[in-house]
Amino acid sequence: MKLVCLLVVSLAATTSVLGVEIPVFVIAGQSNAVGFATNTRELSTTLRAAQPNVLYTGPQESAISWATLKPPTQFSQVDSGHGFGPELMVGKTISDALGGQLVVEVKFAIGGTDLYNQWNPETPGSYYASMRTRVSQALALLPTQRPSTTGRVAGFFWMQGESDALAGRTTAQYKADLTDFIGHLRSDFGDPNLPFVFGLINNSGGNTDAIRQAQFNVAATVPHTFLFNTDVCQRVRPGDIHFNSQGTVDMGVGFGNGYLQIVPEPSTLVLLGCGLLGLLAYAWRRRRA
């Protein structure tokens, strides 16, 4: 019976910790993560409204400050000057699925950047290092704006690959680069199973097919990853590498749902815990009989 009691206490302690621990979602990549071709004025009134259950800090051009997410979320690197990226829908999709749980998002994305060098964790002064620093600073600031809370990186969302296709990277090279990138993320953020959701680049000719195949290969071989098929998302024009506003909305929803496919629903975890408690109690009674 002591074991059962200890497990109950352990589950209660975990629940207590999770009660003040806010999931942090990191969004990174190149121009489609930025939202290059988006325009907030093309959104519906509903999507232009503030999202009270989503806190956001970004983009990296601005000082770190947590605030309720409300588009526009991206002012530079976008044609319209008042755009948005997948952050518009990622946090909302996840929060809605979790009954309105508070979630937070950090964004670091730069158009026209490659993975093999500029985002390479082994490259001194890389964007990877800058992204990691910004996330750490944002996590440190969160308790000062939300007392009695802490943040935990709970998922990473990545939209990138076109620059590597332009550079002629092979399927094997990009697969190795992306696998290594995911490994560094999981090590640096302290979670060997950190969910990694990424988007398929458009098959727009050149070497894009090789990068797409590498993305398929990573999704098939690296656990706790989800590749969202962006072929269903609208582009600025057929064959263009950039999503338009509606395409970016759909990508954000797809990213959020991809995360929910990797991570078990909270209700499932509760049922598993209750089932384990029941089995332990049954074993204890059998032992006492």
Across the range 180-199, mean pLDDT stands at 98
Catalogue all structural domains in the chain, each as residue range(s) with its CATH number: 23-265 (3.40.50.1110)
Per the CB < 8 A criterion, the answer to whether 223 and 232 are in contact is no
Q: Indicate whether 267 pLDDT > 60.
A: no
Q: Indicate whether 94 pLDDT > 60.
A: yes
**If you ran DSSP here, which 8-state letter would residue 170 be given?**
-
Q: Indicate whether 71 pLDDT > 60.
A: yes
pLDDT in tens, 212-265: 999 999 999 999 999 999 999 999 998 899 999 999 999 999 999 999 999 975
Query: Which residues contact residue 166 at a Cβ distance below 8 angstroms, ignoring those fewer than 6 apart?
Result: 206, 207
Q: Indicate whether 85 pLDDT > 70.
A: yes
> Quick count: other Cβ atoms within 10 Å of Cβ 55?
24
CA–CA separation, 10 and 7 (whole Å): 5
Q: Indicate whether 161 pLDDT > 60.
A: yes
Name the pLDDT band for 15 (thresholds 50, 70, 90). very low
Region of 58 on the Ramachandran plot (φ > 0 left; ψ -120 to 50 alpha; else beta): left
Per the CB < 8 A criterion, the answer to whether 23 and 152 are in contact is yes
